[in-house]
């Protein structure tokens, strides 16, 4: 049994979660049999917090996870999301990219429950903010799902501090999910401190830097072999990549000192940073391979001294490029 962390609203999960978006074709072809084996191995190891969304694989990711839940529902803290209805091309063309109206909230939970083949979702996130709808309306509709027993806890993804305050005034929020890593620290300015103040937990996605620490991106040339998703992120541009790969060198040096892997150091740094700010935090690294799940869990045993933390923090100041081309799509663009 792995360690646990209690987020907001008394939601207790494994101290490391699993980001199931990795089991969709966004990073290349996937094998469903391997994916299912990885999910089962994660739960075997004590990683019980499984994170998905209705848009991952167009619903296929939820259907995949239904196979895990069929025999192990009681072992899983299940999180899914609603709200994204478009893609980057739609956003660029000015078409709606998110929906947060009450009718859509009710529609999406029923569709997700059907794909997941379960009666209740443990943590239901608003995936992105619909700026045409007051957040109070969206969260109010989500709260109704708690009242009728379809959802146990509420979460918000990529919200600003002000949006979080408005949401908490309507219903307790268990967690905010946003990108947070040694490469992506903008949430530390306002969102994370506000969540800590309000007793809301934090769930960092992409805590390993979207490929920097998995061996898939080690040079500009590697981007021709990886997904369009990464190639279109500013952090992976020709101008920014060299600076961002230099951060990897510092992480690997600390990893050598600690006889750990680079991924374990990055996750340990995030744990120390959350403790320093005073917030309950559960990262959700994703992977397709069971061995990586075990590696990520090993980060909980990694200790960092003051000198190593200082070097890692200093390396973070060299990060180049925004984490999304369209910053309006994430909290950093609306703060």
Kindly state whether residue 177 falls inside one of the protein's structural domains.
Answer: yes
State the catalytic residue, choosing from 27, 56, 125, 205: 56
Structural domain includes residue 35: yes
pLDDT at 64: 96
Cα–Cα distance, 139 to 82 (Å, whole number):
12
Structural domain boundaries, residue 145: 4-208+271-289
Domain of residue 64, CATH code: 3.20.20.100
- Both structure tokens of 114: 């059907």
Evaluate whether 181 touches 207 at the Cβ level (below 8 Å): yes
Query: Would you say residue 315 lies in a domain?
Result: no
How many Cα neighbours within 13 Å face the side chain of 43?
19
Give residue 165's pLDDT. 98
Measured in degrees and rounded to the nearest 5, phi and psi for residue 86 equal -125, -165
Whether 76 is covered by a domain: the verdict is: yes
The residue among 142, 330, 322, 134 whose CA lies nearest residue 234 is 322
What kind and span of H or E run contains 152?
Answer: strand 151-157
pTM reported for the whole predicted model: 0.94
Contact 233, 27 (CB under 8 A): no
Q: Would you say residue 236 lies in a domain?
A: no
238 assigned to some structural domain = no
What does the pLDDT profile of the chain (335 residues) look like in tens digits? 579 999 999 999 999 999 999 998 766 678 899 999 999 999 999 999 999 999 999 999 999 999 999 999 999 999 999 999 976 566 666 667 899 999 999 999 999 999 999 999 999 999 999 999 999 999 999 999 999 999 999 999 999 999 999 999 999 999 999 999 999 999 999 999 999 999 999 999 999 988 777 655 555 555 544 555 565 688 888 788 888 888 999 999 999 999 999 999 999 999 999 999 999 999 999 999 999 999 999 999 999 999 999 999 999 988 988 998 888 889 999 98
Coil, strand or helix: which one is 155? strand
For position 219, what pLDDT does the model report? 55
Residue 75 in tokens: 């072992």
Instruction: Kindly state the DSSP code that residue 1 receives in the 8-state scheme.
Output: -
Query: Whose CA is closest to 257, among 316, 314, 318, 311?
Result: 311
Q: How many domains would you assign to the chain?
A: 1
Active site residue 125: no
Whether 217 maps to a domain, the answer reads: no
Buried b (16+ CB within 10 A) or exposed e, 140-170: ebbbbbbeeebbbbbbbbbbbbebbeebbeb
Q: What are φ and ψ of residue 317, in 5° steps? A: -70, -15
User: What is the C-alpha separation between 175 and 278, in angstroms, rounded?
Assistant: 14
Q: For residue 317, is it within any domain?
A: no
Q: How far apart are CA 223 and CA 56, in angstroms?
A: 22
């Amino acid at each position: 049994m792995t360690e646990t962390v209690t987020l907001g609203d008394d939601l207790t999960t494994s101290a490391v979660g699993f980001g199931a978006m990795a089991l969709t074709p966004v990073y290349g072809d996937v094998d469903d049999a391997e994916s299912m084996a990885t999910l089962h191995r994660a739960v075997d190891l004590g990683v019980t917090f499984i994170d998905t969304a209705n848009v991952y694989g167009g619903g296929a990711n939820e259907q995949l996870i239904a196979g895990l839940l069929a025999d192990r529902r009681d072992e899983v803290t299940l999180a899914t999301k609603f709200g994204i209805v478009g893609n980057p091309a739609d956003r660029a063309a000015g078409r709606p990219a998110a929906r947060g109206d009450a009718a859509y909230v009710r529609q999406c939970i029923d569709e997700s429950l059907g794909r997941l083949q379960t009666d209740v979702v443990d943590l239901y996130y608003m995936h992105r903010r619909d700026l045409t709808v007051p957040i109070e309306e969206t969260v109010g509709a989500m709260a109704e799902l708690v009242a009728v027993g379809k959802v146990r806890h509420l979460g918000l993804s990529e919200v600003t501090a002000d949006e979080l305050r408005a949401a908490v005034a309507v219903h307790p929020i268990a967690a905010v999910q946003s990108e947070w890593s040694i490469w992506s620290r903008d949430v530390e300015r306002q969102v994370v401190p506000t969540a800590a103040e309000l007793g809301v937990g934090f769930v960092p996605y992409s805590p390993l830097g979207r490929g920097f620490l998995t061996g898939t991106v080690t040079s500009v040339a590697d981007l021709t072999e990886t997904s369009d998703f990464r190639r279109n992120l500013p952090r992976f541009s020709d101008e920014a990549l060299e600076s961002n790969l230099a951060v990897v060198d510092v992480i690997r040096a600390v990893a050598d000192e600690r006889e750990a892997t680079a991924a374990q150091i990055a996750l340990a740094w995030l744990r120390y940073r959350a403790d320093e700010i005073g917030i309950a935090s559960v990262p959700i690294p994703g992977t397709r391979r069971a061995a990586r799940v075990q590696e990520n869990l090993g980060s909980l045993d990694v200790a960092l001294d003051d000198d190593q933390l200082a070097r890692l923090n200093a390396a973070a100041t060299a990060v180049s490029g925004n984490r999304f081309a369209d910053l309006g799509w994430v909290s950093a663009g609306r703060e």
